[in-house]
Structure 1
């Protein structure tokens, strides 16, 4: 795995991207925004995405990525870590936090998959057989993304492994051995769930609030909030990771 590390102050902030994306592409302008500027941050490209390797014998499921994240934190010997994950990266962040226990001080996710079933894009990708998606489906998704005006996602998908994308999507649809919602609710860290304002209403806004989870909103953004309002997302992450 490859990552961009920005030296700075505070507990290290690990950033995990979503399906088909790359932290090295999406998040430099988030962590350089005023609210996070000067923060020690690690922008990780998961295996199969961005600049990281694409091993053919890797599983690429949520739990596989979570184990890799756990291994990285142990290898770097961080005694405390804040983790932020978006969409699929949020599910990975939740599973990694479960493995890391009280090393995680703040667990922040934005529009993470809390339940099996996936979202619109992951369901469309998982509906293909893996061999067919690798042969023609990935290219079709790139064309569709570009045609719909989602050029940033198309650019990141172009750099991603088709195998990694398909297996990640299938994992989101199938769910984990333990549901991510329960893991998120039960983790001992300070937890925040972030929505883009254009993604609301969402039933989890009220549900999570009622369970004592801090909920925040990024204005002028939908699901792709790192692209649509990087400064607003940076402010939400900074607020969520303030030491009490």
Structure 2
């Protein structure tokens, strides 16, 4: 289902932005080998090392990140806003596992097909876990690895644990719609719009994968990766014990003011500035 059919008020604004900036970017697709499924993404043409942006659970880069990409500090840079399988505009095959590692394999294949010499990767929340595993596969090809409030540890977060607690069939049949209703009643209409555009199966399987975690865990893999690394927090998410831990581990930590976990929609200019600073220089 197209995102533009879901949430009239906020999505109408994004449609207007798309209309104004058609010369700058357009929706594209990538055919996955040995499958009829396609990944879809927005690409902003520009200079510098390409920056790939990966969204979180129940979200979509095509929805969250255009405002970030058009902020002054990132404007003019080559950006790729990728929707993972099962989310946003990408296809939602029923026979895909939607595990974090398998998401990463698809992202890796996409990047390899572009023939980039170097790439920067940004991942938010679940997308951070996907970004870490993708960076592992790419090795030194990743110049900067930037995460915002990413899942670093096995066990998932509050949201993913609650979803994974459902049996898959129960979540698909009724749990997903219940979350949508709750979000809309709470006034969280942007997130509800993205969830409505997400496959219930993809949300549940991805959440379950976050809870199960990886071995080695994402934290140790992030710390060991040879790229220049940054971790971003929203000011409203603080205090967080990972701020001193990551800083003492040599990871650059940046704070987005006036924002919490949903910093891309709460303060897109602040997030853009943090990403631009994290990916500046050699």
TM-score after normalising by structure 1? 0.99
Provide structure 2 residue ranges, at least 5 long, that are not aligned to the other structure.
1-38
**1:166 maps to 2:196:** no
Residue equivalent to 1:177: 215
Residue equivalent to 2:121: 83
- Among 109, 125, 147, the residue aligned to 2:185: 147
Between the aligned partners of 1:116 and 1:201, the Cα distance in structure 2 is 21
Residue equivalent to 2:46: 8
C-alpha displacement of 1:178 = 1.9
Between the aligned partners of 2:82 and 2:128, the Cα distance in structure 1 is 13
Between the aligned partners of 2:49 and 2:58, the Cα distance in structure 1 is 28
Higher relative contact order (CA 8 A, sep 6+): 1
C-alpha displacement of 1:149 = 2.2
- Among 103, 110, 116, the residue aligned to 2:148: 110
Q: Deviations over 1:95-144 (max 9, x none)?
A: 00000000000000000000011111111111100010000000001111
C-alpha displacement of 1:177 = 2.7
User: Secondary structure of the equivalent of 1:136?
Assistant: helix
Map 1:1-244 onto structure 2 (within 5 A). Answer: 1-244=39-282
Between the aligned partners of 2:170 and 2:151, the Cα distance in structure 1 is 25
Between the aligned partners of 1:206 and 1:227, the Cα distance in structure 2 is 26
Structural RMSD (CA): 0.6
User: Secondary structure of the equivalent of 1:220?
Assistant: coil
Structure showing greater radius of gyration is 2
Between the aligned partners of 2:187 and 2:157, the Cα distance in structure 1 is 19
Between the aligned partners of 2:209 and 2:279, the Cα distance in structure 1 is 28
Runs of 4+ in 1 over 3 A off after TM superposition: none
Between the aligned partners of 1:184 and 1:78, the Cα distance in structure 2 is 21
User: Secondary structure of the equivalent of 1:121?
Assistant: helix
Between the aligned partners of 2:92 and 2:234, the Cα distance in structure 1 is 31
How many equivalent pairs are there? 244
